[in-house]
Amino acid sequence: MEEKLRILVVDDDEVDRMAVRRALTKAGVEIELSEVGDGNGAITVLADTSYDCVFLDYRLPDQDGLSLLQTLRSTNIKVPVVVLTGQGDDQIAVELMKAGATDYLSKSRLSPEILPPILRNAIRVHRAEMQVALANQQLRESNELLIRKNQELEAQRRQIERQNLKLIEASQLKSQFLATMSHELRTPMNAIIGFSQLLLRPKCGELTHQQKDMVQRILNNGKHLLMLLNEVLDFSKLEAGRLDLKPEIFDLSKIVNATVQEMRSLAEQKDLSLLIQIDLQNPVVFNDPTRVRQILTNLLSNAIKFTESGCIKVEVKEISENQLGIAVCDTGIGIAPAELQNIFEAFRQVDQSTTRKYSGTGLGLPIIKALLQMMGGHIIVESRLGEGSVFRIKIPRQTLSSTQQGQDEALNSTHASTSRNLWKQQELPRFVQSQSIKEE
């Protein structure tokens, strides 16, 4: 069933109004029709009641159709308006359309055949226009919302940027503080260690057994503190990118043997056996011996620290012609799977409580990882809680940080006449093996 349309006819001529009514009724259009005779009456009615369509006579007694359309627009009354024009008003009709009329029709064509389709079309066009206007309005609103959100995001981004800068600054200050403090503390620490060593020498006069014991403790604790300070210093240097490798040619098996011997007394204090197995055809490497030693010392002291019984084993082997592997295995407390990745982060320890059993800075493994990265090597760990851990490192025979200058220096220090090409042809290791291995 067709909806009943509310129609307003604005015309001062009774006959014309009737013509509209008759044309629509005859065509069977369901309407509820209201009539007014002038422009002001129309505005009053339209302000109160909503209509589906207005038929507007162009020539009203108080105003013309154009000014009425403008008034409707300015008062924001939205209704489709079909203007009824007289003969020869075509030019006026164009102006009316521009002013917002939906359609126009000459009064001479007011018939049941022509009027209904014009009415329906005007309503359809108006509704479509309203929908477009609504969609446009929604679009404008969401656009404004987006602009506001964007502004908020931009403000947040700038805030985060500012906070980031502050954090970077604070982190740099912290690193600087760590570096300065550890550097400053090393000088008095070296004096404590040096003077304790002097006191323990017989030349300085005999000490009682008890005094000796106390000085030895001062010495041991001083060394331990110095080791911790060095870790902090190394870490801050690595963080600032200020730690350089000093590569040279050396015998890896000698460094490994020496380091293991150095750590043996620590293992013996805990009744741990310390085994070493070196399986190298060619032990010559080009790397920083101090840093390789530091890596090994760190892994071994961890292995000893975290093992209560059983043994520690160090294995060295060739993985390939240009890659060497060192594994440090222990039968200690092991590490839970969830912790395996964390332990390589700075200051991360499995037990971070202040009452923890095992001492340390939590910097050993991050330093090892960073040093190995600089060398072009890497470290992995396998572990089972309660059974033990294996830390495996891989290092290239020739470290990445071996700049040409470093290599040249190494070459010059081994044999003046050795040409750069010999190294490139990988003949140097053999040559070095027989003549120029740097003694420990």
Which lies closer to ligand ADP via its Cβ, residue 194 or residue 337?
A: 337
Task: Tell me the HSE value of 292 on the side-chain side, using a 13 A CA sphere.
Answer: 32
Amino acid at 83: V
CB of 352 vs ligand ADP, minimal distance in Å: 8
Which lies closer to ligand ADP via its Cβ, residue 301 or residue 433?
A: 301
Cβ(321)–Cβ(309) below 8 Å: no
Distances from the Cα of 72 to the Cα of 54, 381, 440, angstroms: 12, 82, 103
Q: Which residues bind ligand ADP (CB under 6 A)?
A: 302-303, 306, 330, 332-333, 335, 343, 349-350, 360-365, 389
CB of 219 vs ligand ADP, minimal distance in Å: 21
Phi-psi region of 362 (alpha: psi -120 to 50; beta: other; left: phi over 0): left
Residue 274 dihedral angles phi and psi, to the nearest 5°: -120, 110
Exposure string of 242-271, with b = 16+ CB inside 10 Å and e = fewer, is ebebebbbbbbbbbbbebbeebbeebeeee
Which lies closer to ligand ADP via its Cβ, residue 389 or residue 407?
A: 389
CB of 246 vs ligand ADP, minimal distance in Å: 23
**Bridge partners (DSSP) listed for residue 9:** 35, 55
CB of 385 vs ligand ADP, minimal distance in Å: 9
Beta pairing class for 311-320 and 273-279: parallel
CB of 339 vs ligand ADP, minimal distance in Å: 7
Which lies closer to ligand ADP via its Cβ, residue 334 or residue 396?
A: 334
Cβ(80)–Cβ(125) below 8 Å: yes
Beta pairing class for 323-330 and 378-384: unpaired
Beta-carbon contacts of residue 72 (< 8 Å; ≥ 6 apart): 43, 46, 79, 81, 100
Which lies closer to ligand ADP via its Cβ, residue 179 or residue 365?
A: 365
Name the residue number minimizing CB distance to ligand ADP.
360
CB of 376 vs ligand ADP, minimal distance in Å: 21
- The residue behind tokens 């800075």 is 361
Which lies closer to ligand ADP via its Cβ, residue 7 or residue 232?
A: 232
Which lies closer to ligand ADP via its Cβ, residue 58 or residue 306?
A: 306
The Cα–Cα gap between 56 and 90 comes to 15
CB of 224 vs ligand ADP, minimal distance in Å: 12
- The residue behind tokens 């162009």 is 58
- The residue behind tokens 């190294």 is 423
Which lies closer to ligand ADP via its Cβ, residue 69 or residue 343?
A: 343
CB of 370 vs ligand ADP, minimal distance in Å: 11
Cβ(293)–Cβ(261) below 8 Å: no
